[in-house]
Amino acid sequence: MRLLSSYRNRHPAWAAAISFLMSPDFGMFYLARGWLGLGYGAISLLIGYALPIFLTYQKIVLPAWMWFVLFLGYHLPASVHVYFTAARQPPRARYPWYARFYNWILYFWLAPIVVALLVRNLLVQPFTIPANSMRPTLQAGDYVAAEKFTYGLGRYSISFGYGPERRWGGRLPTRGEVIIFAFPAEPEISYINRVIALPGDRVQLREGRLYLNGAVVDRQPLLDPNVHLEPGETLYMERLPDGAEHPIIETGDDARGDNTAEWLVPAGHYFVMGDNRDNSLDSRFDVGFVPAENIEAKPFFIYYNDTTSERWGLSVR
């Protein structure tokens, strides 16, 4: 009971402990010092989020022990400040909402979690690109934001496949659009590819050339100094029948998947391929046709790459 009483009375030791173990802004909020709490909160954001991004941009890697020293260098003096603030502060008969522990749980932990889940499932969801199957459009290490307005909400737009059986709102994908979808064989895994053919289309590859409905799809060699090519790779601009165009990379015209049978895309399904044509698992292989209900989102923005800052802030086309 004495322990609980000292907590309720804002004992300096409690305030310092909260400040050191959690964050100095929580220590100040605990003492009902709102402006000081907001100030420390801004510093915590700078150290916890802005500084790592800046160091990544400058290609500076700090060892773990330096981060620990930084933690101590910030939390120790801040906790001393919180301790003496509590020691000089007379007890109050009533504290504001942000100084009460149960409101901390509600406003600072539960509410952000709920908001994050709503945003992730209904509006915008982050994805990480683990491989180079969509190179040069997307590369391994890209972090992309994908929106859910364009195609509406389907079964796999919501976590764990709890979305509606019939899609709510949005439209169907068109040729050339990049989509994120649930892998048909294992829906818990998300794939990203480009829509090449729509329901009712006939698709075939002959000697590396793409044919849609019996007609060869135009491709022209492309020179782009911003695209790094490995030895033996060639960059092309591919133009689909309805005018959509996008770059693709080929290593040759006799690789696995460069000569296929002709497929007829069934109703309610899509045929997808990676832009890195000879290094992509897509509808030519295990992915097969992608059901419309498996479409999750439309990527639109590369906000981060963990190896190069040159890919930050790029749009996805």
At the second CATH level, the architecture of 123-315 is Ribbon (2.10)
Q: What is the pLDDT of residues 194-248, one digit of tens each?
A: 999 999 999 999 999 999 999 999 999 999 888 989 999 999 999 999 889 999 9
Q: What is the mean pLDDT of residues 138-148?
A: 94
- Show the beta-strand stretches assigned E in the chain: 124-128, 142-147, 178-182, 190-197, 202-206, 209-212, 215-216, 218-221, 234-239, 245-250, 263-264, 269-273, 290-291, 295-305, 314-315
Rounded Cα distance between 152 and 170, Å, is 4
Rounded Cα distance between 59 and 57, Å, is 5
Q: What is the pLDDT of residues 156-177, one digit of tens each?
A: 999 888 899 889 999 999 999 9
Percent of the chain with pLDDT over 70: 96
Delimiting residues of CATH 2.10.109.10 domain(s) in the chain: 123-315
- Return all residues near 106 (Cβ < 8 A) that are at least 6 apart: none
10 Å CB burial of residue 95 (0-12, 13-18, 19+) is middle
- Return all residues near 153 (Cβ < 8 A) that are at least 6 apart: 122, 163, 164, 167, 168, 169, 170
5 or 275, which is more confident = 275
Q: Are 16 and 6 in contact (CB under 8 A)?
A: no
Q: Are 151 and 298 in contact (CB under 8 A)?
A: yes
pLDDT for the residue numbered 78: 95
